[in-house]
Each structure stands twice: as C-alpha cells, then as structure tokens.
Amino acid sequence: MMRTVALPGGETVPALGQGTWYMGERRGEAAKEADALRLGVDLGMTLLDTAEMYASGGAEQVVAQAVRGIRDRVFIVSKVLPQNASLAGTVAACERSLKRLATDRIDLYLLHWRGGHPLAETVGAFQALKAAGKIRYWGVSNLDTADMEELVAVPGGSACAANQVLYHPDSRGIEFDLLPWCAAHAIPVMAYSPLGHHVRRLLGSSALQAVAARHGATPAQIAIAWGMRAGQVISIPKAADLAHVRENAAAGEITLTAEDLTAIDAAHRPPSRKVGLDLL
C-alpha cells in the first residue's frame, strides 16, 4: 500500500510521485518516457509533476500521452512560470497547459518560483481558475519561509496546498525553519530532485551505501525513502526507463530505522542555522 500525504482539506495523494524535468526534449524519446510514467502509475505513483517550462511544454505533452485513457487515476501537478504569473497571464498559461495535457483540469497548479508579479495577483488568478473548475488546488514552488508568511497574509493565500522545493540529504536547509513552518500550517512539501543534481556524488555516500546494504536496497532508494521519512513530504523522482521506475517505486516500501537515520545525519549534517533556499 502506497503511503500518502494529506492535502489541506483532507484529500490524500501518494507520498511518492513522478517528476518529468528533462522529459519531452527529444521527440524520439517521448513514447519511451510516456511508457515509463504509465508503469509508475500502475505501481502506485499516480502523482505526476510537470511544468510549462519543462521542454517548453514538451513534458506536459508526454504526460498527456502517458495518462490517455486513465486520467481519473492520476493527480497532475503543473506550474506557471513567474513571468506569466500576472492575473491574466496565469489564466492564459493554464489554458495552454490544459491543451498540452489534453485534460479539462489540473489537480494542483503551482507558481514555479517567485517573480515580479505580486503574490496577491497570482493568488487571485488561482482563485479564478479554481472557481472555473480549471484547477482543483493551487500552491507554490521555491518559496522560503518569509515568502510563505507573506503569501498566507494576502487575501486567499491561506488556501496554499503545497510548496515544492529542493530537498535531499545534501540539501537540508529547509529543516531549520521552512519544513516546520509548513507542517504547522498543514502545507505539504514536495521534494524535487530527491537525488540532487550531482547524483553520483550523493549516491557515493558511504552512509547511504551502508544503510542500503542493511535493507537490501540501492543508495538511490535510501535517499528517496529518507526524504519521505517524516510523513509530510511528497517525493517526485524522475525515471525515464522501466527498470528505474521499478527501483523508485520500491523505495516507497522502505522504512528507515533510528540507526539508519543517525548514520545518515552523521554524514549529511542537518542545518544548525538558517541558510538560503537551495535551487540547484
């Protein structure tokens, strides 16, 4: 049984989903990528994360191919670029994403990162899209604690349903204040790039390798399971081939012990002070 995380209001989503960053960049790979996503859905990873930025909409088209005929089984997350996040621009961007996704609604629509448009304007657009049935929930990505405090203070801002940020054993800054803040406000955190952008370096960690050996798992599976350990984080690793999808899905079955967590903490230190939000 796939673990779940509750959204504000009580609806649950899988704690382990699928990312699509870098998908849709090569036309000849689209069918293979869609097959990988489809297998992930069959294995319980029914939350699919994409964005208008990824391959300039190409990743959304891959998602559309993957969910053809099974739309009601999946929870689709997409994102609006900050330069498009004005009142009218957000609505127009959402319509374009809906067309590429070949669907009538986006389950969770995020502001990809903060830009020049006021948060109140973007939230107003999200509210209009929700009222029109174009999106079911809205949230943000790459917003730090001060930004989140500002967000919930604007009209309607307290309806934020998620904050998607970089989080993995070598990027733990959010544990100092952002993760506790989101927990206190019942706002789930989505962890993108749960293996980091320097995958070989992270997976070469002796601590992750030792924990993996104890569980009969891979270091990648341990890193994914580590991110999901607290019960409020949704992990969205990417996999473009079937074997990798199966490996990711199996990470959802791993429960780390106190001994495991102590070993990982010793090698990948938790933050002792406030640090800036990592983006890469």
Q: Which pLDDT band holds residue 1 (cuts at 50, 70, 90)?
A: confident
Token couple for 245:
């999808």
Strands in 163-166's sheet, in edge-to-edge order, are 18-19, 47-49, 75-80, 106-111, 135-141, 163-166, 189-192, 233-235
Q: Which pLDDT band holds residue 256 (cuts at 50, 70, 90)?
A: very high
* Closest among 21, 44, 58 to 240, alpha carbons compared: 21
Summarize the confidence of residues 143-163 as an average pLDDT.
Answer: 98
Q: Indicate if the pLDDT at residue 7 is higher than 90.
A: yes
Which pTM value belongs to this model? Answer: 0.97
| CA–CA distance, 16 with 248 (Å, rounded to integer) | 8
Q: Indicate if the pLDDT at residue 212 is higher than 90.
A: yes
* Closest among 213, 235, 268, 97 to 164, alpha carbons compared: 235
Q: Which pLDDT band holds residue 9 (cuts at 50, 70, 90)?
A: confident
Q: Which pLDDT band holds residue 195 (cuts at 50, 70, 90)?
A: very high
User: Where are the chain's structural domains?
Assistant: 12-267
Q: Indicate if the pLDDT at residue 280 is higher than 80.
A: no
Token couple for 156:
């309607």
Helices and strands in the chain: count of H runs, count of E runs:
11, 10
Per-residue pLDDT tens over the stretch 101-124: 999 999 999 999 999 999 999 999
Helices 30-42, 58-66: axis angle to 10 degrees equals 50
Q: Which pLDDT band holds residue 70 (cuts at 50, 70, 90)?
A: very high
CATH architecture of 12-267: Alpha-Beta Barrel (3.20)
**Torsion sign, CA atoms 163, 168, 170, 174:** positive
Percent of the chain with pLDDT over 70: 100
